[in-house]
Every structure is written in structure tokens, then in C-alpha cells.
């Protein structure tokens, strides 16, 4: 971070974030989607970070769904009709309250190994870029690792 930059953190109530994120963004993507009805699941509790990821993804005409916490991601994956609307990719924040990204990934991988749901690539999104974090991501079954602040070019490499 440069000396002249400042970080601002805005926290919105989850019910407001969920409704505002899902309303405007889904309508934009549903109009013209060359990728069929598949979507990318973003799992993060920070609305600003979600918006950045959605902005990059939207530029390439993919649909998104958002889970603001780990259990919501598990529920979305479990209840999704994978034959009509497959999940192409999960972008998983590691630092979430209640159930973190590691625990959420373990739960998703268990559902996949039990054949409850199809195999889906899970990519870590984190501000921590350490060998230990990378190792832990691999151990729980994540396929790749992206460091925040996210660059569009890095994101494109994992989902195209």
C-alpha cells in the first residue's frame, strides 16, 4: 500500500447486500450469455470485493451467484440444478466469519466425493500470500490460488 492511500471498510447488513447484489447483477447477465446458463459462484462476505470480482467477470459475459458466507455456498451448491445451470467455478475467500474458506471447501469436496454434486473447481481468493496458505489450500482441495487485490488478468487465467 502506498503512503498516500487509505483503506476504507464498509460493512452493510447481509440482507441488504444480498438483495442489492443479486438484483442488479443477475439482470445484466441474463440478457445475453454466450456461456449458456452456467455461472461462477463467488464466496466472500465483503461487498466491495464481491463487486470487483463481479465487474471483471461481467466483462466476459459470465453469470454469477454470490454467497456471503460459507454455509450459504454449501447450500447453493447442494440445491443447484447442475444439469440446467452448472457451476463453472467457485471463487472462495479464505477469511470469513463462522465457516472459513478452508472449512467450506472441505464441505464442498465431501459432497463432490460422495457424488452428491458434480466436481467443481474451487479457487482461493486471499490477501495472504504465504507458502503455508498455499499448502493449506491444496490440502483441502482447492485447485488454484489468487491473491488480492485481484487482477483481471489473473482471474482470466483460471476461468477461461
With CA atoms as reference, report the closest residue to 92 among 137, 125, 51, 66.
125
- Identify whether 2 is part of a domain: no
Distance of alpha carbon 106 from the chain centroid: 15
pLDDT in tens, 97-134: 999 999 999 999 999 999 989 999 999 998 888 999 99
Give the model confidence (pLDDT) of 15-60 as tens digits.
Answer: 434 433 443 333 334 444 455 678 999 999 999 999 999 999 988 8
**Of 5-14, 40-49, 50-59, 80-89, minimum mean pLDDT range:** 5-14
Tally of domains in the chain: 1
CATH of the domain at 89: 3.40.50.2300
Question: Does 6 fall in a domain?
Answer: no
Q: 135: helix, coil or strand?
A: helix
Rounded-to-integer distance, Cα 72 and Cα 41, Å: 11
Range of the domain at 109: 14-159
Domain assignment present for residue 3? The answer is no
Instruction: Give pLDDT, residue 43.
Output: 97
Q: Classify residue 5: in a domain, yes or no.
A: no
Is the omega angle on the peptide bond into residue 149 within 30 degrees of 0, that is, cis?
yes
pTM, to two decimals: 0.78
Amino acid at each position: 500500500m502506498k503512503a498516500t492511500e487509505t483503506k476504507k471498510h464498509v460493512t452493510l447488513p447481509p440482507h441488504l447486500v444480498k438483495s442489492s447484489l443479486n438484483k442488479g447483477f443477475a439482470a445484466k447477465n441474463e440478457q445475453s450469455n454466450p456461456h449458456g446458463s452456467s455461472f461462477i459462484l463467488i464466496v466472500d462476505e465483503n461487498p466491495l470485493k464481491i463487486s470487483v470480482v463481479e465487474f471483471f467477470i461481467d466483462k466476459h459475459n459470465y453469470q454469477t451467484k454470490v454467497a456471503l458466507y460459507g454455509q450459504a455456498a454449501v447450500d447453493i451448491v447442494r440445491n443447484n440444478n447442475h444439469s440446467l445451470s452448472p457451476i463453472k467455478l467457485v471463487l472462495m475467500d479464505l477469511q470469513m466469519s463462522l465457516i472459513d474458506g478452508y472449512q467450506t471447501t472441505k464441505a464442498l469436496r465431501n459432497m463432490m466425493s460422495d457424488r452428491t454434486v458434480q466436481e467443481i473447481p474451487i479457487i482461493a481468493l486471499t490477501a495472504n500470500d504465504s507458502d503455508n496458505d498455499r499448502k493449506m489450500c491444496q490440502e483441502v482441495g482447492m485447485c488454484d490460488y489468487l491473491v488480492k487485490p485481484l487482477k483481471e488478468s489473473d482471474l482470466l487465467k483460471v476461468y477461461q
